């Protein structure tokens, strides 16, 4: 829906700095289709959240009275499916992580840029992110990785096939190792473009367990997947173990959860689902090449290894080229 065709949206804006409030109000007024109500303290914001109907919340994190985190939590409790944009002058990653955990969908650092601010709001109302909007159905897929390239190696062909059929697909790397983070960001964006899927990369949030937990929760809340792929249960690498643990704990309400193979998957991996990716194997190998170009020169990301895996598991599917998965949960309709 174009903004010119959209009904007016009610925005609750909590900000104690009057000059900042005037700036943001001017942003929204110039965009049109926004009715802005400004409050200058957190207590008043919480009261109005309880008394009125709102489409969006924009809140500073440092407010008199109830702080911005409390305001965000109150809004999320009452309006579980509506957008929240937090703003702050603090640049420390912990502020962003705490805001995401409280329920914010996005965080912007002041000083605010008009174009970026309005673009982020449009994403929250669905105009600038059709894949996330379409993701409200059970056909959406979320794939979680522990190291750069895990998802592309383990299930890249399956994801590309789903995307080609019009299914929303989101890749979420949860990279804990500092020397891998930069390569994860560069490689993941390039690989996602090659596969035709979306990717959520937040390098600052990757730095802590709390941040990575917040990213999983954010992806589930915004994307509402019906299927989640994560590293297999029997994996010896600490980063992949953590990705499995965080994603498994957060996806109890997702109908289908599948485990994929990595270079450190153990012998207890017992796949029971095999997806033919022969037609997409070249695309998958090209996506892995993007990580090599980004500086993630690990042997377990070699494109030829993807082909070897596909042919090994092909003996279970008429000797084709397949990706193998273990079913961790499947409550989907038969």
6 SS3 class: coil
With a pLDDT cut of 90, the percent of the chain lying above it is 52
Mean pLDDT computed over 272-282: 91
Measure the CA–CA gap between 246 and 228, rounded to whole angstroms: 12
- Find which of 21-30, 69-78, 185-194 is predicted with most confidence, using mean pLDDT: 69-78
CB atoms within 10 A of CB 216: 23
Q: Is 251 left (phi over 0), alpha (psi -120 to 50) or beta?
A: alpha
pLDDT at 137: 47
pTM for this predicted structure: 0.62
Q: Is residue 175 within 8 Å of residue 206, measured between CB atoms?
A: yes
The Cα 232–Cα 244 span in angstroms is 7
Helix (H) or strand (E) holding 75: helix 68-78
CB 124 within 8 A of CB 106: yes
Q: According to CATH, where is 3.40.50.10320 located in the chain?
A: 135-330
Q: Is the pLDDT of residue 159 over 90?
A: yes
Match domain 135-330 to its CATH number in 2.160.10.10, 3.30.70.980, 3.20.20.240, 3.40.50.10320.
3.40.50.10320
Helix (H) or strand (E) holding 277: none
pLDDT, position 241: 95
Question: Measured over all CA atoms, what is the biggest interatomic distance in the chain, rounded to whole angstroms?
Answer: 68
- Domain 7-128 sits in which CATH superfamily? Response regulator (3.40.50.2300)
Answer whether 141's CB lies under 8 Å from 230's CB: no
Q: What number of residues does the chain have? A: 334
CATH 3.40.50.2300 residue spans of the chain: 7-128
**Is a pLDDT exceeding 70 seen at residue 320?**
yes
């Amino acid at each position: 829906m174009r903004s010119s065709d959209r009904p007016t949206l009610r925005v609750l804006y909590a900000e104690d700095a009057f000059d900042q409030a005037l700036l943001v109000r001017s942003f929204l007024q110039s965009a049109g289709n926004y009715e802005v109500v400004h409050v200058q303290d957190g207590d008043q914001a919480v009261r109005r959240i309880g008394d009125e109907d709102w489409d969006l919340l924009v809140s500073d994190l440092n407010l008199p009275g109830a702080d911005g985190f409390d305001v965000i939590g109150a809004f999320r409790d009452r309006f579980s499916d509506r957008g929240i944009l937090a703003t702050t002058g603090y640049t420390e990653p912990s502020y962003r992580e705490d805001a995401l955990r409280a329920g914010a969908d996005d965080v912007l650092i002041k000083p605010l840029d008009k174009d970026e601010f309005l673009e982020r709001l449009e994403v929250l109302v669905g105009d600038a992110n059709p894949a996330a909007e379409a993701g409200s159905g059970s056909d959406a897929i979320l794939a979680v990785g522990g190291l750069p390239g895990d998802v592309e190696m383990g299930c890249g062909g399956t994801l590309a096939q789903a995307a080609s059929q019009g299914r929303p697909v989101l890749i979420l790397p949860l990279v804990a190792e500092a020397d891998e983070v930069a390569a994860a960001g560069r490689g993941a964006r390039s690989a996602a473009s090659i596969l035709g899927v979306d990717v959520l990369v937040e390098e600052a949030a990757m730095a802590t367990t709390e941040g990575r937990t917040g990213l999983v929760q954010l992806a589930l809340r915004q994307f509402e997947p019906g299927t989640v792929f994560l590293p297999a249960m029997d994996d010896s690498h600490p980063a992949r173990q953590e990705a499995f643990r965080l994603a498994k704990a957060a996806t109890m309400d997702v109908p289908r959860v599948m485990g994929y193979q990595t270079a450190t998957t153990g012998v207890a991996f017992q796949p029971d689902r095999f997806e033919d990716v022969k037609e997409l194997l070249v695309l998958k190998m090209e996506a892995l090449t993007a990580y090599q170009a980004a500086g993630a020169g690990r042997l377990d990301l070699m494109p030829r290894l993807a082909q070897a895996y596909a042919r090994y598991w092909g003996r279970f599917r008429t000797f084709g080229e397949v990706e193998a998965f273990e079913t961790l949960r499947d409550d989907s309709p038969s």
